[in-house]
Amino acid sequence: MGTIMAPFEFIVSWIMYLCHLMFDFFLPNATSLAWVLSIVGLVVILRVLMIPLFFRQIKASRAQMLLQPEVKEIQKKYKGRTDPASREAMSRETMALYKKHGTHPMASCLPILIQAPFFFALFRVLQALPKIADPLIDRGSIGPIDAAVAAQAEGSTIFGAPLSSWFLQPGAAGQTKVIAAILIIAMATTQFITQRQLTLKNMPPAALEGPMAQTQKIMMYAMPLVMAISGINFPIGVLLYWTTTNLWSTGQQFYTIRKMPAPGSEAERKLNERRARRAAAKGIVIAPDTPTVIKPQGQRQQPVGKARQKSKKKKR
C-alpha cells in the first residue's frame, strides 16, 4: 500500500509545501493559517485540473439519462428471465447500447476515482507528520517535508485544534473534539447538499424512477452518514480537505445546473423561464419547441418606388 501511495504522497506534499510558501510570504506572522490555507490550495489546484473531467462526467451522466428509455426496453425484454444466459445477454445488450452512444456506466464516477488517491495520500501525510518530526523515529521525509517542516506543520492549528489530530485521538483536548465534530457535521451536510442538488434538481422525471433512481436516492442519504461515521477517525486536516472539496463541488454544480441543465429536468424548466422573461423584456416571444419569434415593434411600412411596384405587378 505504501509503495502504491508513495507517488501521490509525493505530489500532495509538494503542492502543500509550495502553497504554504506562497501563503507564508503574504502572511509571515500566521504560519498555522498558512498551513490551513495550503490544504485549501491543494483542493483548488486538484479541482481546477479536474475541470475537463467534470464536464466529461456531466456529458456521460446526461447520455445515461437520455438512454434510460432504451435501457428500460432491454430490461423489459428480459423481465422474469433469471437464467445466467439471459442475464448475460441483457448485460451485453446494455453495454453495447452505451458503447454505441459513446458513454459508459462508470464514466460519471471518474472524478471521484481520480480524487480518491490524493485524499488517502493527504491522510497518510498528516498521519506521518509526528513521526517525521520526531528525531527518535527515523521515518524519513516525504518530498520536501523533512523533520523541520513536519514539526512546523504538525504544530499548526485551526481554532486551536492541531491539523494532524482527530476526534477519537487518545488524550485529545475538548476543543479539538469540538472542532472535529463541527467539521464532521459540515462535511456530511455539504456531501448531502451536493448529492441532493444533483439528484433532484438536474434529472428529468423519467430518470427519477426505476431501480437506478432508487439506488441514487439511497446513496444521497447513505453517503453523508458513512462520511460522518468515518469522519471520527479522520485527521482534522482531512476533514477540512473534504469539506472544502464538497463546497467546491456544490458551487461548481450550482453553476453548471443553472447554465447547462440536463434536458427535461426541473433546472431546464427554470432556465427556460428565465430566458423567456429576459426575452420578453426585449420584446422577443419564445414559444416552446419552436424557433424564436421576433415580436413586431410597430415599425411603419417602407414606401415602395413606382418601378418596383410595376415589377411586382408584372410578376403577378
How confident is the model over 184-207, as a mean pLDDT?
82
Residue 293: pLDDT band (50, 70, 90) is: very low
Distance CA 130, CA 163 (A): 11
Whole-prediction pTM: 0.74
| Per-domain residue ranges of the chain | 1-155, 159-283
Burial category of 199 from C-beta neighbours within 10 Å (exposed 0-12, middle 13-18, buried 19 and up): middle
Asked if 122 and 115 touch (Cβ cutoff 8 Å), the reply is no
Which stretches within 202-293 are classed as H helix? 211-231, 236-259, 266-281
**35-42 contact pairs (CB < 8 A, 24+):** 35/152, 35/153, 35/156, 35/163, 36/156, 36/158, 36/163, 36/240, 39/122, 39/163, 39/237, 39/240, 39/241, 39/244, 40/240, 40/244, 41/15, 41/16, 42/12, 42/15, 42/16, 42/118, 42/122, 42/241
Average pLDDT, the chain: 81
Distance CA 219, CA 217 (A): 5
Residue 294: pLDDT band (50, 70, 90) is: very low
Among residues 53, 45, 50, 52, the alpha carbon closest in space to that of 11 is found at: 45
* pLDDT for res 180: 94
The yes-or-no verdict on residue 51 having pLDDT over 90 is no
Express each pLDDT in 108-158 by its tens digit.
677 778 888 988 898 899 888 888 988 888 778 899 999 999 988 888 899
How confident is the model over 165-176, as a mean pLDDT?
88
* pLDDT for res 297: 41
How confident is the model over 265-287, as a mean pLDDT?
81
Residue with cell 491539523: 163
